[in-house]
Amino acid sequence: MKPVQRPLHVAIIMDGNGRWATRRGLPRSEGHRRGMTVVRQTIRAALDLGVGYLTLYAFSSENWKRSEKEVAFLMQMCEVMITEELPFLIKNDIRFRHIGRKEELPETLKSAIRRGEDLTKNNRALCVVLAFNYGGRQEMVDAVRRLAGDVKEGCLAPDDIDEKAVAASLYTAGIPDPDLLVRTSGEMRLSNFLLWQICYTELYVTKVFWPDFRKKDFERALKEFRKRTRRFGGAHD
Ligand code: IPE
Ligand code: IPE
Ligand code: MG
């Protein structure tokens, strides 16, 4: 019998907060607030369902295009969430990691992120990766800059740049590629998320808006994943 196929790494594009709120005649911020509660529930669900890595896309490099008010709200909310969630992460052996450009974030958010990463760095039960001010292309640009710097310094030969070296220069160094990508609220696109890492990831899109995403929706995605046959370029049986 085939063993049950479980994803080690689940990545989620948490989309639809704005639409969720607008449909209810509420401000977009209310959708984000609800979305934050769902982030907390989803971390608990991932722990319970035995997922090893959970990557959550919370703010893209392109989300700076939104109103100043919305951007400020999202920055503040992120800081509050990390700070309030930290005791739970520590208590439950959960590691926290951030991917994205830290240098462009407000000082207080940067230090909340650093503190979260530092205080949980030895935790092993689950790794929660928060993609905040993250863009797949920006990540590749930063990786190319790092590699080019190493070449210039003489510690790396151009011929030694292989897939492993590129992967090790990305923000996600040391994190396995996602097995399953979930996108909520129906959009069939990647929106600059994990472009390198998603190479052979199974895709699952649900129409459910992020604030309505529950453990049962997570389980549905895992159930669908179990049905997939992964070939990585190999031939059909
Ligand atoms: C996802 O919800 C959260 C962020 C991108 C910050 P949206 O805010 O994109 O919600 P919609 O897509 O406008 O409904
Ligand atoms: C993707 O959602 C980014 C996050 C969920 C953080 P967007 O709402 O920004 O994506 P587009 O603009 O619909 O592609
Ligand atoms: Mg959106």
3-state secondary structure 195-227: CCCCCCCEEEECCCCHHHCCHHHHHHHHHHHHH
Cα 127 to middle of ligand 2, angstroms: 23
173-220: per-residue pLDDT in tens? 999 999 999 999 999 999 999 999 999 999 999 999 999 999 999 999
Q: Is 59 in the pocket of ligand 1 (CB under 6 A)?
A: yes
Number of neighbouring beta carbons within 10 Å of residue 209: 23
Is the domain 9-135+178-227 a CATH 3.40.1180.10 member?
A: yes
39 pLDDT more than 90: yes
Residues 22-27, mean pLDDT to the nearest whole number: 98
Q: Which residue has the tokens 């928060």?
A: 130
pLDDT tier at 4, thresholds 50, 70, 90 = confident
81-136: per-residue pLDDT in tens? 999 999 999 999 999 999 999 999 999 999 999 999 999 999 999 999 999 999 99
pLDDT given at position 3: 79
Cα 211 to middle of ligand 2, angstroms: 14
Q: Is 33 in the pocket of ligand 1 (CB under 6 A)?
A: no
Closest of 187, 192, 147, 193 to residue 169, by C-alpha: 147
How does 58-79 read in b/e, with b if 16+ C-beta sit within 10 Å? bbbbebeeeeeebeebbbebbb
Which 3 state secondary structure label does DSSP give 140? helix
Ligand (nearest to CA of 31): 1
pLDDT given at position 2: 72
Tell me which residues are annotated as active site. 15, 63
Angle 85-218-231 from CA coordinates, rounded to 5° = 120
Q: Is 14 in the pocket of ligand 1 (CB under 6 A)?
A: yes
Please give the backbone phi and psi of residue 149, each rounded to the nearest 5 degrees, phi first: -60, -45
Closest of 62, 40, 55, 60 to residue 10, by C-alpha: 55
Q: Is 11 in the pocket of ligand 2 (CB under 6 A)?
A: no
Ligand (nearest to CA of 182): 2
Tell the residue nearest (CA) to atom 12 of ligand 1.
Answer: 16
E strands, 9-165, where? 9-13, 53-60, 94-99, 126-134
Distances (CA, A) of 230 to 87, 148, 203: 37, 34, 12
Cα 62 to middle of ligand 2, angstroms: 8
Looking at ligand 2, which atom is closest to the CA of residue 14? Answer: 5
Q: Which residue has the tokens 């893209």?
A: 60
